[in-house]
Amino acid sequence: MVRPQVLRAVPPPSSVPGVVFDRLVSDIVGGTYLRGARLPAERDLVRELGASRASVRDALRRLEGWGLIAIRHGSGAVVRPRTDWAFDVLPACLREAKTIDGADVSRLIQDALALRRSTVVGMLQLVSGRIAPGALAAARATVAEAWDARVDVERFASLDFRITQQVLEAAHMFPAIWLLNKVTPAYIEAVRAIGRAAAVPSDYVDAHHRVFDALEKGHGNRATSLMKQYMEEADRKRLAAFKRAKR
């Protein structure tokens, strides 16, 4: 089913390629186009969005790469089920979606935070016993840098992920770094979508140094326990702030 469209003003041509993509992503995750719906034909999108055919085709290719649509010759672009979507769509869902399969969108951020906790804690378990004393000096310095940048939501998030990369690098756990690199851009965009709800806990620096101390001493279980405890409390506060901001 395709709901009636309310067309919005299109920015100047210089910014059209990204705008076309963002507009279509917004319409899909926001429910304008539901599962199985066909997007308008290329010529109609060109006319309605005031974009070039090349910009529209580029946007459709990117949508297909994110798993949002399937392009079928002779049938056009069809919206795929949410189970086919890529992780990249998370920030758009936080910005645009009101519900996800009937559940409030706050459930989505709750699940995303839980996934991040599980990933980070799991990675710490993997590197247990592989980090030499003093090997986390770079990570400690980045913790200080992240704390100083805590009022800049996007910069803080980027540095915060860099800390995890540095811990993994100290253990030479490169597959885990590559996995983290894959999801980090979407998480940083999600943090931007959450906005002020992503406030940094006051014990950020101390909590990380305690984890690092445990890792450098070879106390892997203590390190993972400390990180799990810290992240659960921090995420509980973030989720509560996100819910308040959505009211």
pLDDT attached to residue 7: 38
Q: Check the CA dihedral 222-228-231-237 and report its sign.
A: negative
pLDDT at 110 over 50: yes
As a whole number, mean pLDDT of residues 77-106 equals 84
pLDDT band at residue 79, thresholds of 50, 70 and 90?
very high
pLDDT in tens, 150-195: 988 889 989 999 999 999 999 999 999 999 999 998 888 877 777 6
Q: Is 205 left (phi over 0), alpha (psi -120 to 50) or beta?
A: alpha
| Close Cβ partners of 181 (under 8 Å, ≥ 6 residues apart) | 165
pLDDT band at residue 131, thresholds of 50, 70 and 90?
very high
pLDDT attached to residue 103: 66
User: How many Cβ atoms sit within 10 Å of the Cβ of residue 47?
Assistant: 12
Measured CA to CA, the distance from residue 85 to residue 87 in angstroms comes to 7
pLDDT at 4 over 60: no
pLDDT attached to residue 159: 95
13-85 maps to CATH 1.10.10.10: yes
pLDDT at 2 over 70: no
Give this prediction's pTM: 0.80
DSSP letters for 120-145: HHHHHHHHTT---TTTTHHHHHHHHH
Percent of the chain with pLDDT over 70: 88
Residues of the chain with CATH 1.20.120: 91-246
| Close Cβ partners of 8 (under 8 Å, ≥ 6 residues apart) | 23
pLDDT attached to residue 21: 93
Measured CA to CA, the distance from residue 223 to residue 56 in angstroms comes to 49
Measured CA to CA, the distance from residue 218 to residue 107 in angstroms comes to 36
- Helix, strand, or coil (residue 169): helix
Residues of the chain with CATH 1.10.10.10: 13-85
91-246 maps to CATH 2.60.40: no
Percent of the chain with pLDDT over 90: 61
State the angle between helix axes of 137-148 and 153-170 in degrees (0 to 180), rounded to the nearest 10. 170
Give residue 20's identity as a one-letter amino acid code.
V
pLDDT attached to residue 136: 98
As a whole number, mean pLDDT of residues 111-135 equals 93
Provide the b/e sequence for 60-78 (b: ≥16 CB within 10 Å).
bebbeebbbbeeeeeebbe
As a whole number, mean pLDDT of residues 190-212 equals 85
pLDDT at 214 over 70: yes
pLDDT at 15 over 70: no
Q: Which residue has the higher pLDDT, 148 or 246?
A: 148
pLDDT in tens, 63-74: 999 999 999 887
Measured CA to CA, the distance from residue 52 to residue 29 in angstroms comes to 23
DSSP letters for 183-213: HHHHHHHHHHHHGGGGPPPTTHHHHHHHHHH
pLDDT band at residue 17, thresholds of 50, 70 and 90?
low
pLDDT attached to residue 14: 36
pLDDT at 113 over 70: yes
